[in-house]
């Protein structure tokens, strides 16, 4: 790291931005087998904003997040969280995996899933006390799931499962929230509930990064946008970055004229 700083000493402003960024990724490269899924990606997340990671299917959106968090082992690349290595900042990060990545038939209740978010406080053998339970219950209330605490998780709808995952992230009381496709396959009421919670987090000074697939809501929901298609395409405020050029570049002409037209009024209006 010190070597790298020395070689980049002409660019100290960028270094300062990177050091204060809640999530700064450099040269991230991940491969499943022969073909790289993510190639030499740089990303610098702006603090206190909501950032959407967008790109076509298989562009490496989820992979980038997982590699940054150390869930996947990258071929190359470094990640800093608030200027420090990820493993020293675990308590400031809350990660919400894709809903479909877990087995919802697992024998456990809604409240137990939320309590998993308190594991760093509880440790191996710490007793779950009433204060922990009431905190978990309060997190469920924030996502409108307070009446489902003792339900088995398999009995929930997809949207309800997604809200339980968000409640677990809230229980972690993090400063950086990373969500993988939080709106995938959820009902409209859930989408509204989730976006309100995320905006509240942002307004409280937290940083939110979400892998997002619905281009029509990017301008409405997010402050910043990060385009990826295996490589980094563009990054910046929605107002200046979410434009036709970057969309066509990221989606490689896969968006038809009708789709582009549908997007245009959203970000101009």
Cβ pair 163, 187 in contact under 8 A? no
Q: Which is nearer to another protein, 72 or 266 (CB)?
A: 72
* Residue 95, SS3 per DSSP: strand
CA angle 63, 69, 75 (to 5 degrees): 60
Q: Beta 224-229 vs 231-237: how paired, if at all?
A: antiparallel
Q: Which of 18, 26, 90, 213 binds another protein (CB under 8 A)?
A: 90
Q: Which of 157, 216, 240, 245 binds another protein (CB under 8 A)?
A: 157
Minimum CB separation of residue 102 from another protein in Å reads 5
Minimum CB separation of residue 157 from another protein in Å reads 4
Minimum CB separation of residue 164 from another protein in Å reads 11
Of 34, 100, 20, 28, whose CA–CA distance to 66 is shortest? 28
Tokens found for residue 263: 């997007």
Q: Which of 26, 49, 109, 133 binds another protein (CB under 8 A)?
A: 109
Q: Which is nearer to another protein, 156 or 234 (CB)?
A: 156
Is 75 near another protein (CB under 8 A)? no
Is 168 near another protein (CB under 8 A)? yes
Q: Which of 6, 13, 125, 188 binds another protein (CB under 8 A)?
A: 125
Backbone dihedral angles phi then psi of residue 172, each to the nearest 5 degrees:
-75, -15
Cβ pair 77, 29 in contact under 8 A? yes
Q: Which is nearer to another protein, 124 or 258 (CB)?
A: 124
Minimum CB separation of residue 247 from another protein in Å reads 29
Query: Within positions 227 to 266, which residues make up the interface with another protein, using CB under 8 A?
Result: none
Minimum CB separation of residue 116 from another protein in Å reads 5
Of 147, 150, 183, 192, whose CA–CA distance to 165 is shortest? 183
Q: Which of 66, 163, 202, 206 binds another protein (CB under 8 A)?
A: 66
Tokens found for residue 208: 């939110």
Is 33 near another protein (CB under 8 A)? yes
User: How far is the C-alpha of 46 from the C-alpha of 178, rounded, in Å?
Assistant: 13
Q: Which is nearer to another protein, 78 or 152 (CB)?
A: 152
User: How far is the C-alpha of 242 from the C-alpha of 221, rounded, in Å?
Assistant: 13
DSSP class of residue 109? B
Cβ pair 218, 224 in contact under 8 A? no
> In the complex, which residues of this chain contact another protein (CB under 8 A)?
33, 66, 69-71, 87, 90, 93-95, 97, 101-109, 112-113, 116, 119-120, 122, 124-125, 152, 154-158, 160, 168, 172
């Amino acid at each position: 790291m010190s070597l790298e700083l020395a070689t980049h000493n002409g660019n100290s402003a960028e270094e300062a931005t990177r050091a204060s960024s809640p999530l700064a990724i450099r040269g991230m490269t991940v491969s499943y087998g022969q073909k790289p899924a993510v190639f030499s990606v740089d990303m610098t997340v702006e603090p206190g904003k909501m950032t959407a990671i967008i790109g076509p299917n298989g562009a490496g959106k989820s992979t980038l997040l997982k590699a940054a968090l150390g869930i996947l082992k990258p071929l190359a690349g470094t990640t800093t969280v608030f200027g420090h290595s990820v493993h020293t900042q675990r308590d400031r990060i809350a990660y919400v995996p894709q809903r479909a990545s877990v087995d919802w038939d697992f024998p456990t209740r809604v409240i137990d899933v939320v309590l998993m978010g308190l594991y760093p406080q509880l440790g191996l053998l710490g007793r779950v006390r009433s204060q922990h339970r009431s905190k978990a219950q309060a997190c469920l209330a924030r996502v409108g799931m307070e009446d489902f605490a003792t339900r088995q998780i398999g009995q929930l709808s997809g949207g309800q499962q997604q809200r339980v995952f968000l409640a677990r992230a809230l229980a972690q009381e993090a400063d950086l929230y990373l969500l993988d496709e939080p709106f995938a396959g959820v009902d409209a009421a859930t989408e509204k509930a989730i976006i309100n919670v995320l905006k509240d987090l942002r307004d409280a000074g937290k940083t939110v990064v979400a892998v997002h697939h619905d281009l029509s809501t990017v301008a409405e929901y997010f402050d910043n946008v990060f385009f990826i298609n295996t490589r980094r395409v563009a990054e910046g405020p929605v107002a200046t970055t979410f434009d036709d050029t970057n969309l066509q570049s990221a989606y490689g002409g896969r968006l038809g004229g009708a789709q582009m037209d549908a997007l245009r009024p959203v970000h101009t209006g």
